Amino acid sequence: MSSDIFERNFLFFNVLPFSPGKEKELAADAVDYMKQTGNDLVLYCMTLHPQGFPAMKKAEALLASYRALKAELEGTGVRLGLLIQSILGHWPRVDKDEEPWTRSVNSEGILTRFCPLDERYRKYIFDVAAMFAREKPVFILGDDDIRSFSQGGAECFCELHTAEFNRRTGNRFTPEEYRAAVKASRQGDEIFTAFDTLRRELFNNVASLIREAIDSVDPSIPAGSCMPGAEIRFASETARRFAAKDQPVVMRLGNTLYLERSAKDFPYVVSRTMVYKAAHPSVDIAMDESDTFPHTLYSRSSVGMHAKLFSSIFCGLRGSKLWLVNCRKMGRPVHRNYTKILAKYSRAYQVLAGEVMKTRMTGVIIPAHRNFPNWHPGWGKRNSEYFLSEPTLGSRMFGVLGIPYQCKFELDQPGVYAIAGAQAIGRFRDEELKTLLSGRLLLDGPAAVAVCERGFAGELGLTACFEEFRYNREVDPATETGYPITKEFNVPHFKDLAPGAEVMTELCYSPYAGSPEREFAAPGTVFFRNALGGLVCSTAFHQDVSYVQYNETRKEWYVRILERLNGGRLPAFCQDLQEILVLTRAYEDGRVLCYICNLNFDPMETVTLRCGAEPARVEELTPEGEWRGMPFRREGENIVLDRSLNCYETLVLRLISEGEKK
Amino acid sequence: MADRTFAQNFVFFDILPFSPGEEELLAREAVEYTERTGNRNVLYSLTLSPAGFPAMNKVLFMLESYRKLKAALQGTPCLLGVLFQAVLGHGARNFPPPDLKSRPVEPWVRMVNVDGALTRYCPLDEGFRKYIFDMSVLFAKEAPCFILGDDDIRSFAPKAECFCELHTAAFNRMTGRNFTPEEYRQAVLNCNRGDEVYEAYETLRRGIPNGVASIIREAVDTVDPEIRCGSCMPGWEFLFNGETSKCFAGKHPAVMRVANANYNETSAKHYPLLVVKTMALRLAHKEIPVVLDEADTCPHNLWSRAAISMHAKLVSGIFAGLNGAKIWYVNAHKGGKPVSRNYTDILAENKGLYQTLAAECAKTGLAGVVIPAHKNFADWHAAHYSEVARRIQLVADDNMAVTMLGHIGIPFRASFEQDEDEVYAVSGAETIDHLSDEELKKLLSRKLLLDGPAAAAVSSRGFSDALGLTAEHKAFSFNRELRTDDGKGYVIVQDSQVPFFTIKDPGAEVFTELHYISYNGADDDEYIAPAAVFYRNALGGYVCSMVFHYQIVYSQFNERRKEFFIEILERLRGRKLPLVSADAQNVTVITREYPDGALLAEACNINFDPLRKIALRCAKTPSRVERLTGAGEWIDVPFEAKGEIVTVEIPLACYELAVLRLS
């Protein structure tokens, strides 16, 4: 039977700092947290990877503190669980006295953590997990040290792993030969495949071992995992191994944003959240990594934490792992701004999560991929391949222009797809490209060149290539509208237009501003309906053209293109001329759920939206979780909401047109 | 006319976009700008680098537009001047494309840069010199309120110039050599600073911008010597742009816009770097009487630069001693669209503040922990500037204002002087590397705080005795930093750049120590090494060396570490810091001191979380706290004093600031 902790629309697990000798104070903080925020789930942070000698001494010391905290929380309503903050260890901590267990060896030949193939270490893991399971924690969460990367290299090349590899493959490698063979291997060959299987087993088997230990005490204790950044493709298997039988699979995504610098980067985080969620459909409860590490406002503002929480709920996440909210660190209270903002929006989180379940994500589609041709676990830090080839048009452009977007793996969905850059094209196989080209597709200059180089120029109705040509203007000849552009090498030259290709803008050359002379240089924006049935727009412009990425006319240009591809108006976008992130979801009856976040330092005094269907009613989700009608006025084709938004502040709206008005 | 242009304490020059055919609209917008902001000076942006053929066609075309604008502004309060937005050209962009070779161009000599690429027209060519002279005369005849040369008047495009035949001949004349242009270029590429070749080249290189400025001045003087002119400092020429501005100025006080732009902004947390760089730029040219802020919002929209941050930079620029700003397209149109009126609004809301603040700054001196600046660029070479770009900073990018003080609300200031009666603070090895032994000795004879890498750099230079310890980089383990007096800890983690300290003199006072413990809560604590050490040295200095540095992962900012810095700084200075932010989030505080000890302070919230009120820790509880309003008036603000903490009921949103006077 599923635990009742999963009954809420959105779960918060607040991690409590290890506080030996101060459990009473910690419990008081946790009770206060619950009273203020309504969230009753807390996880005691236990750093359980072996340290000191004997290792079990530390585990027992931690257990004693856990029990003391448990006793303090008895009868308070706060439900105590456990964060196994480490079991393998996030990095080797120069232990001076250590167990004589086999150490892992990474792909750089560095001795790292203890190897979980060592039976003695396995027994330690089992015993520790069983020991804590006996305390009946409300939930056990394994942290993201349960991975196979440490100190910049993949694990493991110890003697035990080498022996296991040899047993499976019939080789007779020494550990050093094994390591060299893996580094020299190629995707798909026997060595690569056998190593990668062992590598994944390294952490998945740790999860299984912990589950087995828990089951030996109480199979109903729910558990989950935290996605490590280096295991974005494989992490859900670990979560499944952790999950109790017949209970939801729970995984915290690796979508953190601490040590924040700029709100303008926020769309990148949102894109990551979307794509991680989509990459792991078998996970029932995907959780936000709401960590503010190292738990000060210097690292993460509360307003930024909240903006991310709202956006993650919008992307379909159903929980959050918070850190040290309302607690103390080094004897000092962690900033109460975090508590306050969680308390303020406690109802809104639940209501929004409920609304999200009734809706589907909408917006321009940024296609994600599962092709990692260059990924090699033995190559350590060079493994920088992700599901999206950033910067995408979503993260870089639409996410700050106020145009809703979404990330999807499916390539054949209704809607407009948008691709920027050659690398993104390179991730798609020919068949996948054909699928994309048979739909409605926007390609920027470098992407158009890459498509042509793959032999699909016919589908674009033009040839796009990089060659020297001079231009300094982009103009729509029909309206004489100029779009700011500067000379840039990666702006391709479009030529050999097919009959039927429609030119929306042209690149031109003019000797100086105001000069009456203007010479045509090349097409700039071209639409083409191809033989695959697709409608493709290729643009010479791309998002790296210096100083001209963001401006009002370029925003209008994007909207024109997208709406022409869409065959109708976008459901909603923001008309304000500053960095603003807008996400949308659609109800079955056509209503629009809309998330808006001001990413600019300048406060917005009003919010201006242009909607596909003019709304008859606009409702705002209040912090109390109520939908409150919001007055608005019409200005031309826009609606203007008299609602101010400060930097990083969010707004969730429901837009209801006449036919849908309830 | 000239007096009216510079009549304010803080002078704004608003650049108007070149708008042929739309001069009436532009004039209306300029008038509205003046009415709203009180700023009268507007400069018409004219890109006068030769383009098309004959080049003078473009000049005449622009002159015509200028005249129309001038006529449209006749009788309005606006004072019209001209920005020579390009004379040499910011790049070589305006030459016709290779595929349009049929287009005629002026037959003037083109410059050659250090890569051997043809770039702009060479101002040694008599034809081009005549062009510059003639077009300057044309505009001078329009009696502009001011002529500002832009930062294309430089010797980089984008690499160092010039190795054309004319410059080669000049070089040969100077040095008695007989180089071909290619031999000259190779000689410069392969020479060292101090060599005859380098010095002669450098003189010629500087002669490019200075020579152009002199031609323009000469031309203006033939029409009306009363017309004032100034320069805009290019990024790579901040060491000698003062000369260029003097060439422009002629008999008048020099006017120079410094190169301190911050467009395409990303983070408010960048603010301390902007502030300290502006301070250093101002001080590097203290003989220039009028120095303008580069308040450019290029490309002139909120995506690039918010109005609130433009304002914050203006205010910090005034605090740094600037007395004007070059702003772009405020209240104007661009590409047929109005530039965001947020810029107009904020300038209008604060029009009094800028003027009053500039006047107050004139009565006060910058106060705060000293970030040492320098002008020693022994390893910088114009021909290799991109490879050694980092080496030509007046203050290192990782100086302590940027890495710590500017975030935790401890006032700081840059200084080129080495005898200030205040604590000097150095983070990182770069600043130490730039100092000569003599300069280093002077610094060590002062009150000085060194972070780990800086201490290791001092030690490796042979000055361990002045620290009372040796600081060396070696592998060792630690995971705690504990005070020697009460055993309380500071967050620190293992880091390879944390140096190992060995005490050399028993007189050294150990403030904190590094320790190792198996795990949190274990009972096997072990002493490893000193971590923060005070030492009174034979040079008369009082130095604190700390192993801590800002790159220790996840340990940079926290409340305890902030207190650590305050305690160390106050022990070094022997008395309390006059004013420190008491808020536990990123706040930049800049202070100036009146002769009577009263403080002028800017507090700017550079965190996303709004501050509900400003909390300050004051050495002396003020009897009065005043806030400078946007109208430029001082108003008393209620405050609460509890112990040392003074709380002022002023909320600050992200990037918002308050200017206070504490008496």
**pLDDT tens column, A445-458:** 999 999 999 999 99
Question: Tokens standing for A424?
Answer: 């993104």
The whole-angstrom separation of Cα A139 and Cα A11 is: 12
Question: Tokens standing for B518?
Answer: 């198996």
Question: Tokens standing for A43?
Answer: 């996880």
On the question of a cis peptide bond just before residue A391, with omega within 30 degrees of 0, the verdict is yes
Alpha-carbon distance B351 to nearest alpha carbon in chain A (angstroms) = 18
**Complete edge-to-edge strand list for the sheet that includes strand B599-605:** B365-367, B587-593, B599-605, B657-662, B625-628, B634-636
Mean pLDDT across A380-397: 85
The whole-angstrom separation of Cα B353 and Cα A341 is: 34
B281, B317 Cβ separation under 8 angstroms: no
- Sign for the CA dihedral angle at A416, A421, A427, A431 comes to positive
Binary contact (B93, A487; C-beta < 8 A): yes
Binary contact (B99, A515; C-beta < 8 A): no
Alpha-carbon distance A434 to nearest alpha carbon in chain B (angstroms) = 35
pTM of the model: 0.96
Binary contact (B519, A52; C-beta < 8 A): yes
Considering only the beta carbons, identify the residue of A20, A94, A648 that sits closest to B608: A648
Query: Is residue A660's pLDDT more than 80?
Result: no
Query: Is residue A267's pLDDT more than 60?
Result: yes
Q: Spell out the residues 6+ positions from residue A470 whose beta carbon is closer than 8 angstroms to its own.
A: A487, A509, A521, B96, B97, B98, B99, B100
Query: Is residue A288's pLDDT more than 80?
Result: yes
Considering only the beta carbons, identify the residue of A95, A261, A513 that sits closest to B269: A261
Query: Is residue A333's pLDDT more than 70?
Result: yes
**CB-CB neighbors (< 8 A) of A470 in chain B:** 96-100
The overall average pLDDT reported for chain B is 95
Using the structure block, give the residue that is written with the tokens 């042209």. Answer: A506
| H-only helix segments in B105-180 | 126-140, 165-175
Binary contact (A548, B299; C-beta < 8 A): yes
Binary contact (B100, A469; C-beta < 8 A): no
What was the pLDDT predicted at A659?
72
Mean pLDDT across B295-323: 97
Number of other CB atoms surrounding residue B487 within 10 Å: 11
A584, A404 Cβ separation under 8 angstroms: yes
Alpha-carbon distance A80 to nearest alpha carbon in chain B (angstroms) = 21
Confidence of residue B101 (pLDDT cuts 50, 70, 90): low
Residue A396, Cα to own-chain centre: how many angstroms?
Answer: 15
Sequential DSSP letters for B209-253: HHHHHHHHHHHHHHH-TT--EEEE--TT-TTTHHHHHHHHHTTSP
Mean pLDDT across B172-201: 96
Mean pLDDT across A277-286: 98
At A608, the amino acid letter reads T
Binary contact (A513, B268; C-beta < 8 A): no
Binary contact (A52, B299; C-beta < 8 A): no
Going from the C-alpha of B155 to that of each of A152, A344, B383, B415, the distances in angstroms are: 44, 58, 11, 28
What was the pLDDT predicted at A247?
96
**CB-CB neighbors (< 8 A) of B584 in chain A:** 296-298, 335
**CB-CB neighbors (< 8 A) of A49 in chain B:** none
- Sign for the CA dihedral angle at A373, A377, A382, A383 comes to positive
Alpha-carbon distance A167 to nearest alpha carbon in chain B (angstroms) = 37
User: What percent of chain B is predicted at pLDDT more than 70?
Assistant: 97
Binary contact (B335, A484; C-beta < 8 A): yes
Considering only the beta carbons, identify the residue of A95, A297, A646 that sits closest to B518: A95
**CB-CB neighbors (< 8 A) of B491 in chain A:** 294, 330
Residue of B nearest to A512 (CA): B51
Considering only the beta carbons, identify the residue of A261, A335, A552 that sits closest to B267: A261
At A349, the amino acid letter reads Y
pLDDT in tens, A126-173: 999 999 999 999 999 999 999 999 988 999 999 999 999 999 999 999
Q: Is B532 helix (H, G, I), strand (E, B) or coil?
A: strand
Question: Tokens standing for A254?
Answer: 């690796």
The H or E element that residue A71 is part of is helix A55-73
The overall average pLDDT reported for chain A is 95
Confidence of residue A461 (pLDDT cuts 50, 70, 90): very high
- Number of residue pairs across A and B with CB atoms under 8 Å? 194
Residue A326 DSSP one-character state: T
**CB-CB neighbors (< 8 A) of B655 in chain A:** 601, 647
- Sign for the CA dihedral angle at A185, A191, A197, A202 comes to negative
Binary contact (B18, A514; C-beta < 8 A): yes
**CB-CB neighbors (< 8 A) of A514 in chain B:** 18, 20-21, 61-62, 65
Binary contact (B337, A547; C-beta < 8 A): no
B141, B134 Cβ separation under 8 angstroms: no
pLDDT in tens, A490-518: 999 999 999 999 999 999 988 888 888 88
Q: Is B90 helix (H, G, I), strand (E, B) or coil?
A: coil
Q: Which residues pair with B413 in a beta bridge?
A: B370
Query: Is residue B220's pLDDT more than 50?
Result: yes
Q: Spell out the residues 6+ positions from residue B286 whose beta carbon is closer than 8 angstroms to its own.
A: none
**CB-CB neighbors (< 8 A) of B340 in chain A:** 577-578
Alpha-carbon distance A240 to nearest alpha carbon in chain B (angstroms) = 31
What was the pLDDT predicted at B2?
45
pLDDT in tens, B503-532: 999 999 999 999 999 888 888 899 999 999
How far is it between the farthest Cα atoms of chain B? 86
A580, B302 Cβ separation under 8 angstroms: no
Q: Spell out the residues 6+ positions from residue A57 whose beta carbon is closer than 8 angstroms to its own.
A: none
A525, A539 Cβ separation under 8 angstroms: yes
Mean pLDDT across A265-275: 97
CA angle B222, B224, B229 (to 5 degrees): 100
What was the pLDDT predicted at A381?
54
Alpha-carbon distance A616 to nearest alpha carbon in chain B (angstroms) = 30
Alpha-carbon distance B280 to nearest alpha carbon in chain A (angstroms) = 24
Going from the C-alpha of A305 to that of each of A300, A320, A468, B656, the distances in angstroms are: 7, 11, 46, 20
Alpha-carbon distance A20 to nearest alpha carbon in chain B (angstroms) = 7
On the question of a cis peptide bond just before residue A414, with omega within 30 degrees of 0, the verdict is no
Alpha-carbon distance A139 to nearest alpha carbon in chain B (angstroms) = 23
**CB-CB neighbors (< 8 A) of B97 in chain A:** 469-470, 509
What was the pLDDT predicted at A403?
98
- Sign for the CA dihedral angle at A35, A37, A42, A45 comes to negative
Residue of B nearest to A261 (CA): B267
**CB-CB neighbors (< 8 A) of B266 in chain A:** 261-262, 264-265
**CB-CB neighbors (< 8 A) of A329 in chain B:** 558
Mean pLDDT across B589-617: 97
Q: Spell out the residues 6+ positions from residue A111 whose beta carbon is closer than 8 angstroms to its own.
A: A92, A103, A104, A105
Question: Tokens standing for B647?
Answer: 């709380």
Going from the C-alpha of B328 to that of each of A76, A223, B16, B18, the distances in angstroms are: 61, 58, 7, 12
Tallying the residues shown for chain A, one arrives at: 662
Confidence of residue B1 (pLDDT cuts 50, 70, 90): very low
| H-only helix segments in B250-390 | 271-284, 307-319, 342-349, 351-362
Mean pLDDT across A517-545: 96
A104, A66 Cβ separation under 8 angstroms: no
Going by C-alpha positions, the residue among B324, B167, B144 that lies closest to residue B232 is B324
The whole-angstrom separation of Cα B20 and Cα B24 is: 10
pLDDT in tens, B452-497: 999 999 999 999 999 999 999 999 999 999 999 999 999 999 889 9
Considering only the beta carbons, identify the residue of A302, A330, A600 that sits closest to B560: A330
B546, B449 Cβ separation under 8 angstroms: yes
What was the pLDDT predicted at B83?
98
| H-only helix segments in B367-476 | 400, 406-408, 429-434, 437-444, 452-458, 464-467
A485, A517 Cβ separation under 8 angstroms: no
What was the pLDDT predicted at B346?
98
Q: Is B45 helix (H, G, I), strand (E, B) or coil?
A: strand
Alpha-carbon distance B52 to nearest alpha carbon in chain A (angstroms) = 6
Number of other CB atoms surrounding residue A261 within 10 Å: 12
Binary contact (B58, A515; C-beta < 8 A): yes
Alpha-carbon distance B585 to nearest alpha carbon in chain A (angstroms) = 5
Judged by average pLDDT, the poorest of A422-426, B199-203, B392-396 is B392-396
A203, A242 Cβ separation under 8 angstroms: no
Binary contact (B335, A302; C-beta < 8 A): no
Binary contact (B609, A330; C-beta < 8 A): no
Query: Is residue A383's pLDDT more than 70?
Result: no
Going by C-alpha positions, the residue among A329, A377, A325 that lies closest to residue A18 is A329
**CB-CB neighbors (< 8 A) of B104 in chain A:** none
Q: Spell out the residues 6+ positions from residue B173 whose beta carbon is closer than 8 angstroms to its own.
A: none
Considering only the beta carbons, identify the residue of B65, B93, B100 that sits closest to A519: B100
Name which of A49, A296, A342 to mutate to probe chain B: the one with the most chain B Cβ atoms within 10 A of its Cβ: A296
The whole-angstrom separation of Cα B36 and Cα A137 is: 65
A250, A285 Cβ separation under 8 angstroms: yes
Binary contact (B303, A400; C-beta < 8 A): yes
